[in-house]
C-alpha cells in the first residue's frame, strides 16, 4: 500500500509492530496535529491490528485504544479542517481468529 501511495506524490509514514505509545503517544499526537498538511487534499490512515467486538483495538504492547482516541489528533489539526479524513482498519477480533474482518469506517 505504501508503494502505491508514494507513487502518487503523497507523504507516507510507516510503523510496524507499533506499540500503543507509538500510535497514540505524545509525539504522534503532537506531530499529526501540528503538522502542516496544507499541500495535501486528504488524510488517510491505514491500520492492521487486533481488537475486540466492542470497538477496542490493541497495540503490540497489549494496551487498548479506540478509534476516537486515534482520530482525536487528526480532527484537531487546523490544516486538515474541511478535508476528508479516511481511516481504513483491518481488525482481527477474538471471535474471528479463524478469519479476518474488514471494517470500513468513515469519520466526519
| 20 is a domain residue | no
| 1 is a domain residue | no
What is the tens place of the pLDDT at every residue in 56-94?
888 888 888 888 888 888 888 889 899 988 888 888 876
pTM over cut 0.85: no
| 54 is a domain residue | yes
What is the tens place of the pLDDT at every residue in 32-66?
777 888 888 888 888 888 888 788 888 888 888 88
CA–CA dist 32, 50 (Å, integer): 23
Q: Find the domain containing 95 and state its range.
A: 40-108
| 3 is a domain residue | no
How many structural domains are present in the chain? 1
| 57 is a domain residue | yes
Amino acid at each position: 500500500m505504501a508503494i502505491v501511495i508514494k507513487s502518487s506524490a503523497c507523504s507516507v509514514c510507516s510503523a510496524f509492530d507499533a506499540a500503543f505509545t507509538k500510535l497514540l503517544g505524545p509525539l504522534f499526537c503532537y506531530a499529526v496535529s501540528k503538522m502542516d498538511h496544507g499541500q495535501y487534499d486528504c488524510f488517510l490512515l491505514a491500520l492492521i491490528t487486533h481488537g475486540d467486538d466492542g470497538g477496542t483495538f490493541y497495540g503490540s504492547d497489549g494496551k487498548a485504544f479506540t478509534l476516537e482516541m486515534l482520530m482525536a489528533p487528526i480532527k484537531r489539526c487546523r490544516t486538515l479542517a474541511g478535508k476528508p479524513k479516511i481511516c481504513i482498519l483491518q481488525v482481527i477480533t477474538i471471535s474471528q481468529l479463524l478469519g479476518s474482518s474488514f471494517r470500513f469506517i468513515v469519520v466526519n
